[in-house]
Structure 1
Amino acid sequence: MDVHPLPPLLHNQPQRIAGDVRALALRLRPDYAAVAVGYADCGTYGALDDVCAELGLRRLAGLHCYDVYGGAQQLEQFFADEPGTYVLTDFLVRSFTRTVWRELGLDRYPDLHETYFGKYRRVVWLAQEPDDELRSLAEDAARQLRLPLTVVETGAGGLERELATVLPA
């Protein structure tokens, strides 16, 4: 199996995900017996499903990667308990300053904080491989967001299960 990643910042422009997945899948098809998509819907509102149906591809289940790591039912419960929940994965914890803070312009325009995050009430970190360094980074992200942090250790089992459903046997 080879992994051909798309830029993670596509999550900040989900309207581009389906087109970029299509282009990459078409480029890879001649060289591989099978191509699978390592995305959940990720804010494409079904556009990724349309590409997968068109090209006969499988993708990870769920509305977003949070469903993959934490389980759709658990995520539904988090949002039912507190609709103002901001979710982090290990990737987002590691890259928070770059992928969230700088990309949203909060490093240059701190007055946007309330606009972006004023309705959030907590941060939930779905910790796949928690360690002291990641915990410190998660705490820093929550502090920057001015929100309390809840840590939910998920491991990588959800991702492993989902990958098994999309990869050929």
Structure 2
Amino acid sequence: MAERAPLDLAPSEGLERTSGEGRVLLLACGALGREIVDLVEANRWTAFDIQCLPAKWHNTPELIVPALREKIRANREHYESLYVLYGDCGTGGLIDTMLAEEGVERIEGPHCYSFFTGNAKFLETADDDVTVFFLTDYLARHFEKLVWQGLGLDRHPELLSAYFGNYTKIVYLAQTKDAGLEAKAKAAAQKLGLGYEYRFTGYGDLASEMAKRA
């Protein structure tokens, strides 16, 4: 194999870069970075290298597909295989079209809420959850920056009803049992004027799909 470029794990707040034997490169959303590294460390998986694209690109999904394609083409010759840890993430199916062209697989599911819950289980409750605003550990941790400030509600609170008027509750899909994050999720629900529900999911299909490739 050719010599690899330095590992890039950006941005995944507070996390060290992770490098294994380099058989498999995981290309992932930055919002999953901490969970991916936690799983790698807990299971002592050595096969993975990890590169994350910025989590904030969920607000500009048109940036995701060309950046992923660029990373696939830049890294393909350095690894035995590449695997993408992204849902559709607002690309309108373009991510799957591109991956089919490049011959690279991704984790199944329209978004991380689905594969954290488990895709089959998520579909079972989809009709009941149509008015739910989901939080994951990442979103609970960064609610103020990504949601409140990201939507401009810190500057224009009058927009709250326009953004969240059709939601009835926040459902916190927890990957870890963390009282601090649960408090943040409850505070977010109060701030948005929504009901609150806690569901512990663990890592769901993310863990099982990574295990298949370890």
Q: Structure 1-normalised TM-score? A: 0.92
- The answer to whether the aligner puts 1:162 opposite 2:206 as a matched pair is no
Match of 1:44 in 2: 91
Tell me how far 1:107 sits from its aligned partner: 1.0
Alignment partner of 2:79 out of 16, 32, 35: 32
- The answer to whether the aligner puts 1:100 opposite 2:166 as a matched pair is no
Higher helix share: 1
RMSD (Å) for aligned C-alpha atoms = 1.5
Alignment partner of 1:133 out of 166, 180, 194: 180
Partners of 2:148 and 2:125 in 1: CA distance: 23
Match of 1:75 in 2: 122
Tell me how far 1:53 sits from its aligned partner: 0.6
Tell me the SS of whatever aligns to 1:119: coil
Runs of 5+ unmatched residues, structure 1: none
Match of 2:192 in 1: 145
Runs of 5+ unmatched residues, structure 2: 1-47
Q: Percent identity?
A: 39
Tell me how far 1:42 sits from its aligned partner: 1.4
Moved over 4 A (4+): none
Tell me how far 1:78 sits from its aligned partner: 3.5
CA shift digits 1:65-100 (9 cap, x unpaired):
111101233333433124211111111111111111
Q: Structure 2-normalised TM-score? A: 0.73
Q: Which amino acid counterpart does residue 78 of structure 1 have in structure 2?
A: T
Higher strand share: 2
CA shift digits 1:113-139 (9 cap, x unpaired):
111101000111111102111111111
| Preserved contact between residue 137 and residue 181 of structure 2 (Cα < 8 Å) | yes
Alignment partner of 1:15 out of 39, 45, 62: 62
Tell me the SS of whatever aligns to 1:81: coil
Bigger RCO (CA 8 Å, 6+ sep): 1
Tell me the SS of whatever aligns to 1:2: strand
Partners of 1:120 and 1:57 in 2: CA distance: 36
